[in-house]
Structure 1
Amino acid sequence: MLTGKPAPQKSSSDLLDVSMASATSRYIEEQQATQQLIMEQQDQQLEMVSGSIRVLKHMSGRVGEELDEQGIMLDAFVHEMDHTQSRMDGVLRKMAKVSHMTSDRRQWCAIVVLLGVLLLVLILLFSL
């Protein structure tokens, strides 16, 4: 400085300390910049994941609504099938009854016709 005293000589260890401090400072700054970049990339990835989660939430809500609607439709279908099954059972019972009556009627008709033929044969036999 200007006081007339000779400027103190910097020792090699002082220069080394300054150089190390400068290098350490640069290293810390680089590490902080790298960490900041990594955090920004992670933030972007988290935003993308968050968007995907929102889409999945919306889709799962729609799937749930669709399942509820289909459940209601299936309940109505089961009710209609039960009603149709009851009607079919009734119709089948009626058809069995008609079928049974038809075979009985045929048998009675055959009996009456055969009795008529037998009477005719007897009348012809005794009239001769």
Structure 2
Amino acid sequence: MQKPIEFKTSVSPFEAADIILNSPNIMDDLIYWENHIVGDEGKQTCTFIFERYYFRTSGRATLTAILENFDGENKVRCITSGSAESIINIDFGASKNFVGWLKDILAEYIVKEAEL
């Protein structure tokens, strides 16, 4: 499984959420999403949970995406789960593919990427 990654965007969490929600076929994989304004300063947070079946692992993988701007920077954190097969924890690239799918949706707005 891939380590969680974080990337910074040039758009707010709510704007990024709108871009994600308006992507083609997004509802095929979307399990749940929510958004909130936190505090009096208008800080934003959005959470997405996606699930997808991967033939290469014969199982389902989830992608949790957390979008927030609590420290003034617009961030997206991606955490995959369930994509590995057996006890040796090999997912044959499923988690990387899942994160890459979300990164492709937000590609023109990504400013910087880091592994957590």
Asked if these proteins are the same fold (TM beyond 0.5), I'd say no
Higher relative contact order (CA 8 A, sep 6+): 2
Structure number with bigger Rg: 1
Of Structure 1 and Structure 2, the greater helix share is in 1
TM-score by length of 1: 0.17
Of Structure 1 and Structure 2, the greater strand share is in 2
